[in-house]
Amino acid sequence: MPLPPECLVGLAPILCEMMVTHARRCPICRRRWERATQLAACRARSTPEDIEYQGVAYSGMLTPLGTLWIASSARGVCRISCDEDELAFCHEIERSGWGPARYIPSRLASETAQLAAYFAGRPISFDLPIDYGRRTTFQREVLETVRHVPYGEKRSYREIAAEVGRPNAMRAVGTVMATNVLSIIIPCHRIVRSDGAMGEYAVRSRGACGMVGKQMLLTLEGAGLEREAIHP
């Protein structure tokens, strides 16, 4: 069964090719993309925005990873996720101390435009303000270091640990990456193992298909690993 053409609009050709190929192998991801397309159509018919609301605003966009939810507080982007449904995404925002979130896409026009440009294949460097919330000093240092790994390049967990002054903290760096809630703009997909192997990516929510997502992003940036490493 082919993918809905709507989910391929505006994407870099290499992403379209990888999505179609993977959808033939994985009915679960094919259903994810189908459902994401349906939800995008529903959002287009949503109720008027509450533009007077001063709390956290969020929006959603269709991407090769499924529906990507983006939320921003008054200080900056506070959560980005493609591994949660809308209700869970909003619940996590409130649980993390930012208060209730409301669907106000117009307040995230810059964020969605930059993300759309990224998935279209432009070598973009995100210049969005970030709200790190309750993260510890170490977590912030790791996330800021990863944030500045250039487009199309990779770093190892060991290298990130050394850059933050904790050369033996590779596992701790890995934990920060595993709990990164600012996907794409904090490019944890660019962090790989010291032996060059890909390492895990969204394994708790996507299983083996998380690796496919990481491969897509690295291939888009021209820094991909061999596809055979995922599909022997």
45-88: pLDDT as tens digits: 666 667 778 899 999 998 988 889 999 999 999 999 987 888 89
- In this structure, the strands spanning 191-192 and 155-156 are parallel
- pLDDT given for residue 41 in this prediction: 78
Asked whether 146 and 138 are in contact (CB, 8 A), the reply is no
- Token digits for 146? 């990863």
Length of the chain: 232
List active site positions.
Answer: 188
- pLDDT given for residue 114 in this prediction: 96
Tell me how far apart the alpha carbons of residues 109 and 95 are, in angstroms, rounded to a whole number.
25
Q: Which of 154, 27, 39 is nearest to 86 (CA)?
A: 39
Determine how many CB atoms are found less than 10 A away from the CB of residue 226: 9
- pLDDT given for residue 211 in this prediction: 81
Sequence-ordered strand ranges (E) for 20-99: 56-63, 66-72, 77-81
The 3-state DSSP composition of the chain as helix, strand, coil percent (nearest 5) reads 50, 10, 40
Tell me how far apart the alpha carbons of residues 159 and 163 are, in angstroms, rounded to a whole number.
6
Which residue ranges of the chain lie beneath pLDDT 50? 226-232
- pLDDT given for residue 83 in this prediction: 73
Q: What are the angstrom distances between the C-alpha of 226 and each of 64, 81, 158, 219? A: 19, 26, 22, 9
Domain spans in the chain, listed from the N-terminal domain onward: 5-45+52-119, 137-207
Tell me how far apart the alpha carbons of residues 157 and 194 are, in angstroms, rounded to a whole number.
7
Q: Which of 64, 37, 107 is nearest to 217 (CA)?
A: 64
The long-range contacts involving 209-215, CB below 8 angstroms and separated by at least 24 positions, are 209/22, 209/26, 209/28, 209/29, 212/18, 212/22, 212/26, 212/29, 213/64, 213/65, 213/82, 213/189, 214/189, 215/18
- Token digits for 144? 């800021």
Pick one of 1.10.10.10, 3.90.79.10, 3.40.50.300, 1.10.260.40 as the CATH number of 137-207.
Answer: 1.10.10.10
